[in-house]
Structure 1
Amino acid sequence: MNIDKAMYSETGYSLERLNALISPDAQNHLEQMAQRARQITRQRFGNTIQLYAPLYVSNFCVNNCPYCAFNCKSKLPRTRLTIDQAVKEAEILAAEGFRHILIVSGEDKNFITVAYLTELAKKLREKFSSISIEIYPLTKEQYDQLFAAGIDSIALYQETYDRSDYEKFHKSGPKSDYDWRLDTLSRAAQAGFRSLGIGFLIGLSDWRTQTLAMAEHANLLMKKYWQARVSFSFPRMRTAENVDEKLFRYMISDKELVQMTLALRLCFPDAEIVMSTRESQAFRDNMAHICVTRMSAGSKTNPGGYAEKEQSLSQFEVADDRTPDQVALMLKSIGLEPVWKDWDKAFNE
């Protein structure tokens, strides 16, 4: 398929179309792609951007992923939040205006249990209309319990869809099971989760082949679980404690990340596009104007980071350290309305 046809097609996703849009030749058409992506985003989502904040509850982890500061070989101090401590953190976020919160944890099954998460969710529902999780994979029955407790959204990244690279980066721990991880979002969808967040860690494998694989995953989820909404995230490797960046041979430029994001918007007009504080202030501002629909703000990537002055081990360095209010003001300055609530729990009743 030629690039002009791929840009202006109304047929939605096809592997051939996406392949054309992420090709090296398509880099000469980024301005036209951006204009088209912005038009589609405004038509489908209006002039709004959803804001959310991550709540890290544990940086303990049994996995040995060399790209993550939480890996089990790290000797740096670890922290687990009790329910009361987590609620205290969440209250700070609620006071800043957030009504959408993302619970994040390393694979710490002995402490961050389903019972812990259900108890925490029941307390958070008093202040938050939408609760998401980004934790280790669970069974369908466990997702049933979390959904009943008020958790309605999930983000879980395959890290890399390349099986040989996956094995290289996940040599031990429960995360070494590629297929169990790949099927996680299907199990969550079967339990009723309404939002399914997918992505891969940029830097582990070739970005073009990974984008195609992720798109196939998204297309399968959309067809099989049409009631749920799929969102794309694009986490790039960032500086982190005890992480050797020389391991990551596939880092990409800003231009390539823009191309990937635009291509996915053109092929998946109804998908959410998420951009975290891993990216710089300038980059996030530009992408918010074009096709991003959800952004984190004021993020702390260590447990207790909002309430405690003494900092525990962070998962990665935040590149955009603006406060939530500053991010909201930026959005208003470019004609967008910051939305602090992702979903109203009344819709589930």
Structure 2
Amino acid sequence: MLNASVKTDSWKQRKIHLDEIERYMQSDRDFIDDAALTRAIAANRNPDSLRIREIIAKSLAIETLNIDEAAALLNVSDPELLDEMEAAAGQIKRKVYDNRIVTFAPLYLSNYCVNNCRYCGFRLENKKIRRMTLSMDEIRRETEVLCGDIGHKRLIVVYGEHPVSDIDYMVESIRTIYDVAVPARQGIGRIRRVNVNAAPLCVEDLKRLHAVGIGTFQVFQETYHHATYARLHPADTIKGNYRWRLYCMHRAFDAGVDDFGIGALFGLADWRFEVLGLLAHTHELERAVGIGPHTISFPRLEPAKNTPFLQDSRLRVAEADFRKAVTVLRLAVPYTGMILTARESAETRRALLPLGITQVDASSRIGVGAYANPAVDNSQDNRQQFVLGDLRSLEEVIRELAEEGTITSFCTAGYRCGRTGKRIMDLLRSGKEGKFCKLNAVLTFREWLDDFAAPETASAAEPVIQKEIKEIEQEQPGMVKTFKEYYRRIADGERDLYL
């Protein structure tokens, strides 16, 4: 045990490269100015309706808002204006991303962690958690369930920060996932895009992730409030370094990763401050690397085994406040994808989807090894980081979306066609990306329905597909011939065709 502890300490000392923080800083301060963000919230109280409608118009033009504009939206209390903001949020989503929801599944590969975050079930001091790191054979079995039984095409893989799940393990595990192919009803089930949620990495390690073919690289700041961050993340841990985390996406871009996601954990500090922190991070990325975040996530704190910090009800973000946060984020960064996870209840997710959500997970199991072990209790398992709120299957979610007229997309074409980085930002801002998305959403949905859907789900989905095809015929006549040829080939059993 002593040798293991010494090795871990040595590993921790090598993780942070101070030069890979300092090279991106413009002064001795980082780009999150707590006092300025707090002042903006106070200075924009009681905004008048004319100003709010001007801000909404700017959002509808797919322009990133400034801090004061977002702060004004955060201060809106008039029900009529709130309704207008929500309507605009939905309109923006349809303009940029069309009538679709992208689905994915989380895959937790290890819950070992050297950090000691007070709110996290995986924290080092939590002795009630059963620690596990999946072997490559176990990863294959998990992936076979995800792509062969459920039909997922896109994963977000999650790693703790620990030597057992360092970059060598990450690269090998991603290769293993991509290698899995399982016969489906007509075609072959496989994962086409692996997104990564992990601890901040150095440039050299990020280059290795880029080389193995990842999709989006996610690192969440947790909280942008400096004092709160310091209080929750002990200074003697890797995660105690606020700036190592804050500048991770700058390093990712330099490593060739131009598709990244940011996020904050709502419930650690004032939720309004976190909204502005996410926007300030967006501004910095737009300034420094020329592109903003492909996705923004806004998970709320959820219960976790043996984590008393979460029992403080003062930390909870109320439903009405969370609804406003989602609305303002959609208006503030109108081009970004917005991820609403199964942390939230099914009821909350139904209520928030119309406000501009673009991605949800389903059939989610977050215990390490839980997909291949159906006996694991997915609500109280001692191998998982927190408790899920929405335990519905992918099939249930798809059927409900179809009944409401929304198409489910399994598209991963953008990554493989080079529609990432600045290229996708330009396409998103212009509304052109949504056109590609509609074509590929229909093609991939046809695949999933033919390979995995129960009869009642297929029945609910067919009118949605036909409606989307009619819109393609009307809106994209130049693409109709190729699209219909691909659609026919997929119906005949061919797979993974995209435009």
What TM-score, normalized to structure 2?
Answer: 0.67
Q: Contact (CA 8 Å) 1:130, 1:341: kept in 2 or not?
A: no
2:185 aligned with 1:122, yes or no?
no
Residue 112 of structure 1 deviates from its aligned partner by 0.8
Q: Which residue of 1 aligns with 2:68?
A: 16
Structure 2 gap segments, 5+ residues each = 1-46, 180-189, 420-499
Q: Contact (CA 8 Å) 1:218, 1:230: kept in 2 or not?
A: no
2:416 aligned with 1:325, yes or no?
no
Q: Secondary structure at the match of 2:274?
A: helix
Structure 1 gap segments, 5+ residues each = none
Q: Contact (CA 8 Å) 1:20, 1:26: kept in 2 or not?
A: no
Separation in 1, partners of 2:202, 2:78: 41
Q: Contact (CA 8 Å) 1:54, 1:101: kept in 2 or not?
A: yes
AA at the equivalent of 1:4: R
Q: Contact (CA 8 Å) 1:3, 1:26: kept in 2 or not?
A: no
Which of these residues, 53, 67, 86, is aligned with residue 4 of structure 1?
Answer: 53
Q: Which residue of 2 aligns with 1:230?
A: 294
Residue 24 of structure 1 deviates from its aligned partner by 4.8
Q: Which residue of 1 aligns with 2:224?
A: 161
Which of these residues, 322, 327, 349, is aligned with residue 262 of structure 1?
Answer: 327
Q: Which residue of 1 aligns with 2:304?
A: 240
Which of these residues, 125, 150, 153, is aligned with residue 99 of structure 1?
Answer: 153
* 1:265-314 deviation digits (Å, cap 9, x = unpaired): 11211100100001110111222233100011111111101112245421
Q: Compare 294-303 and 25-34 and name the one that shifted more.
A: 25-34
Separation in 2, partners of 1:169, 1:234: 18
Q: Secondary structure at the match of 1:25?
A: coil
2:387 aligned with 1:335, yes or no?
no
Residue 248 of structure 1 deviates from its aligned partner by 6.4
* Alignment CA distance shift 1:189-1:101 (3 Å): same
* Alignment CA distance shift 1:328-1:194 (3 Å): farther
Q: Secondary structure at the match of 2:101?
A: strand
Q: Which residue of 2 aligns with 1:294?
A: 359
Residue 67 of structure 1 deviates from its aligned partner by 0.5
- Sequence identity, in percent? 29
* Alignment CA distance shift 1:229-1:211 (3 Å): closer
Q: Which residue of 1 aligns with 2:86?
A: 34
Q: Which residue of 2 aligns with 1:67?
A: 119
AA at the equivalent of 2:395: D
Q: Compare 152-161 and 48-57 and name the one that shifted more.
A: 152-161
Which has the larger helix fraction?
A: 2
Residue 68 of structure 1 deviates from its aligned partner by 0.7
Q: Contact (CA 8 Å) 1:60, 1:79: kept in 2 or not?
A: yes
Q: How does 1:185-200 map to 2 (within 5 A)?
A: 185-200=249-264
Q: Secondary structure at the match of 2:172?
A: helix
AA at the equivalent of 1:134: N
Q: Contact (CA 8 Å) 1:74, 1:242: kept in 2 or not?
A: yes
Which of these residues, 139, 143, 149, is aligned with residue 90 of structure 1?
Answer: 143
Larger relative contact order (C-alpha < 8 A, sep ≥ 6)? Answer: 1
Separation in 1, partners of 2:355, 2:415: 29
Q: Contact (CA 8 Å) 1:275, 1:294: kept in 2 or not?
A: yes
Q: Contact (CA 8 Å) 1:99, 1:340: kept in 2 or not?
A: yes
Q: Contact (CA 8 Å) 1:69, 1:242: kept in 2 or not?
A: yes
Q: Which residue of 2 aligns with 1:251?
A: 316
Q: Which residue of 2 aligns with 1:144?
A: 207
Which has the larger strand fraction?
A: 1
Q: Contact (CA 8 Å) 1:99, 1:130: kept in 2 or not?
A: yes
AA at the equivalent of 2:154: H
Q: Contact (CA 8 Å) 2:215, 2:415: kept in 1 or not?
A: no
Residue 260 of structure 1 deviates from its aligned partner by 1.0
Q: Contact (CA 8 Å) 2:305, 2:382: kept in 1 or not?
A: no
Q: Compare 150-159 and 24-33 and name the one that shifted more.
A: 24-33
Q: Secondary structure at the match of 2:305?
A: coil
Provide the aligned length of Structure 1 versus Structure 2: 348
Q: Which residue of 2 aligns with 1:57?
A: 109
Q: CA RMSD in A?
A: 1.9
Q: How does 1:173-184 map to 2 (within 5 A)?
A: 173-184=237-248
* Alignment CA distance shift 1:27-1:200 (3 Å): farther
Residue 39 of structure 1 deviates from its aligned partner by 0.9
Separation in 2, partners of 1:255, 1:107: 34
Residue 255 of structure 1 deviates from its aligned partner by 1.0
Q: Secondary structure at the match of 2:249?
A: helix
Residue 341 of structure 1 deviates from its aligned partner by 3.1
Q: Compare 64-73 and 195-204 and name the one that shifted more.
A: 195-204
Q: Which residue of 1 aligns with 2:37?
A: none
* Alignment CA distance shift 1:231-1:248 (3 Å): farther
* 1:90-139 deviation digits (Å, cap 9, x = unpaired): 1211121211111102112x211211111222222243221111111110
AA at the equivalent of 2:157: I
